[in-house]
Amino acid sequence: MKTIDALIGDGVAGRRVFVRADLNVPLADGTITDDGRIRAAVPTIARLAEAGARVVVASHLGRPKGVPDPAFSLMPVSQRLGDLLGDRAKDVSFAGDTAGEGARTTVAALGDGEVVLLENLRFHPGETSKDDAERGAFADALAGLADLYVGDGFGAVHRKHASVYDLPARLPHAAGGLIATEVGVLRKLTENVSRPYAVVLGGAKVSDKLGVIDHLLEKADRILIGGGMAYTFLAAQGHEIGDSLVQQDQIPAVRDYLRRAEERGVEFVLPVDVLTSGQFPDLSAGEPTDPATVPAHAIPAGTMGLDIGPRTRQLYAAKLADAATVFWNGPMGVFEHPDYAEGTKAVAQALLDSPAFTVVGGGDSAAAVRLLGFDENAFGHISTGGGASLEYLEGKTLPGLAALED
């Protein structure tokens, strides 16, 4: 896989370089609420601009239906990108479409060291089409905007999309600094892993993590489960879970995982106590609720588990204290509400207190780290791609990485 170092070494001054970034940030009423992915994209864009390239940046945002939708416009991202680049780029402009007349005109006007951000790639149906010809036609249009391609949107490399998979085949290509870093970190989680190797998995649904759990049974020494998915595990053990989130159709698979873990000597750690409430909290109001702490095996009817309890926090911290490698993906509860954030806080703090190489696997975990006020630089690595990280750990071939191979 050719890297951006080699690309710049070959000379990029005056050349149009298409950078597929991942600028899929959360927005609330047009305001960016977490700019982590934009900040992660800046180093590669800045290096190219400083080397005199004419940088064409592209990304998706949200899930529009293949047509322009103002709610998913990248205009706010363009403004923030310009702020973060500062004087490392001569100018940052915004094209009002993806590969149409607006994009062609704006790109043609670029000078050396200048940057343009195209409008949301998913405003065009060809970006996500399952039809190879339709996707390829859009990739052809994008290729007309550039001379070189840099793949740096790690959060999208598990998607077989035009700008991720088809476009690199049409231009000389290289991996950006972010992708190189992400892949290097993930190799540390899959090849010659320092042990003990502990994995913390949370989030709402077991079904989202089936593949990675299956693969990690061959790799990890212990697996800690939290979040909404924990209640399917507790139900699989025959415990009362009240009105907690549960995926009944996944219970047979969960029982099989527990059996296999025992056979292989992999320690599976489940909550011993949880915080419950009679209703899901109003996250927009953030008003205090009245949570109760109950044993995880006896959640009363009419209540639901919303976070791991204090005994579980202590247990999980102890299970992480002697680890040499830790991968964490998924919050332990409804961390967006202060009454149910302590479990996620406790896991984050345990990672900071551990001497282990620690990886936060993107998605809600990365958002929680920032929302709860932790120093991102104190962790070994915070991934920009939750889904991509999980699929890599499952051993899957990621289309966007395969496309960057020489």
Q: Is 390 annotated as a binding residue?
A: no
CA angle, 305 as apex, 301 and 309 as ends, to 5°? 125
Q: Is 52 annotated as a binding residue?
A: no
Identify the bridge partners of residue 274 per DSSP, sorted by sequence position: 294, 308
Please give the torsion angle defined by the CA atoms of residues 198, 386, 32 and 85, in that order, rounded to the nearest 10 degrees.
90
SS (H, E, C) the chain: CCEHHHHHHHCCCCCEEEEECCCCCCEECCEECCCHHHHHHHHHHHHHHHCCCEEEEECCCCCCCCCCCHHHCCHHHHHHHHHHHHHHCCEEEECCCCCCHHHHHHHHCCCCCEEEECCCHHHCCCCCCCCHHHHHHHHHHHHCCCCEEEECCHHHCCCCCHHHHHHHHHCCEEECHHHHHHHHHHHHCCCCCCCCEEEEECCCCHHHHHHHHHHHCCCCCEEEECCCCHHHHHHHCCCEECCCCCCHHHHHHHHHHHHHHHHHCCEEECCCEEEEECCCCCCCCCCCCCCEEEECCEECCCCEEEEECHHHHHHHHHHHHCCCEEEEECCCCCCCCHHHCHHHHHHHHHHHHCCCEEEECCHHHHHHHHHCCCCHHHCCEECCCHHHHHHHHCCCCCHHHHCCCC
- 176, 333, 387, 400: the catalytic one is 387
- 188, 205, 255, 396: the catalytic one is 205
C-alpha closest to that of 358 among 405, 317, 332, 325: 325
Q: Is 336 annotated as a binding residue?
A: yes
Q: Is 363 annotated as a binding residue?
A: yes
- 16, 37, 319, 345: the catalytic one is 37
Q: Is 61 annotated as a binding residue?
A: yes
Q: Is there a catalytic annotation at residue 205?
A: yes
Q: Is there a catalytic annotation at residue 363?
A: yes
Q: Quick check: 396 and 158 in contact, CB under 8 A?
A: yes
- What's the one-letter identity of residue 44? T
Q: Is 60 annotated as a binding residue?
A: yes
Cα distance between residue 218 and residue 10, in whole Å: 42
Q: Is 365 annotated as a binding residue?
A: yes
Q: Is 24 annotated as a binding residue?
A: yes
C-alpha closest to that of 115 among 12, 46, 41, 24: 46
- 242, 363, 385, 386: the catalytic one is 363
Q: Is there a catalytic annotation at residue 37?
A: yes
C-alpha closest to that of 110 among 135, 145, 75, 140: 145
Annotated binding site for ATP: 209, 305, 336, 362-365
Positions annotated as catalytic residues are 37, 205, 363, 387
Annotated binding site for substrate: 22-24, 37, 60-63, 122, 159
Annotated binding site: 22-24, 37, 60-63, 122, 159, 209, 305, 336, 362-365
